[in-house]
Amino acid sequence: MDIEGCLLPEFWIAVARDTGIKDLELTTRDVESYDELMRFRIETLRKHGIRMPDIQRILGGVEPLAGAVEFLRWLRERHPVILLSDSYYELLQPFLSALEHPTIFCHHLEVDGDGYVSDYLLRQTDAKRKSIRAMGDLQFGTIAIGDAFNDVPMLQEADHGILYRPSNKVLDAVTEFPVAWDYEQLQSHVTAAAEA
């Protein structure tokens, strides 16, 4: 299951709102190259004097989406769950306790001696799809849940893909998966997929 947009609000948007730095609201919808976007974010944080402890303090004040904790608990009582995120352990750290310490596969941010984010280190490219493929190699059946374009490869790779609260743009472009609009519907879709 994806994290941002599925269990937690979007991190960069939260930091942009808290700091008032509009440039941090840009996403891959605005800047096509992920590398270019991340370099721009890193540069913007430094320009405004925002260090990793500031980011973690801001994110520490962000709540999981309403019902997310209960949903994740429900899911983990029934299935082995791995959260697959294109975000970073350093940004997820403030949420681990609230989410009850799930298993997370994601990437790392590098922080320099002054506390500024200086680089990002991807575990590997196309990590979500490859993680699902690896689960298949281990003979696990897989159900993937995500909300955005970066989740589509893992939804396609999984035995069952489910879209959770996609944007209109995603909804128009991606038509092959069932869609859930709240956690109750998501529970029904997961139950149906697990029984299929």
> Pattern of binders to Mg ion over 123-162, x per CB under 5 A?
------------------------xx--------------
List of residues 6+ apart from 63 with CB closer than 8 A: 98
Q: Which residue has the tokens 């949420």?
A: 95
3-class SS letters over 85-113? EEEEHHHHHHHCCCCCCCEEEEEEEEECC
2 is catalytic: yes
Of 103 and 167, CB closest to Mg ion: 167
Asked if 4 is an active-site residue, the reply is yes
Q: Which residue is nearest to Mg ion (CB)?
A: 5
- Estimate to the nearest angstrom the gap between the alpha carbon of 117 and the chain centroid: 19
Residues that bind Mg ion (rule: CB under 5 A) add up to a total of 5
Candidate residues 1, 4, 24, 189; the one interacting with Mg ion per rule CB under 5 A: 4
Q: Please identify every residue annotated as catalytic.
A: 2, 4
Residues at the interface with Mg ion (CB under 5 A): 2, 4-5, 147-148
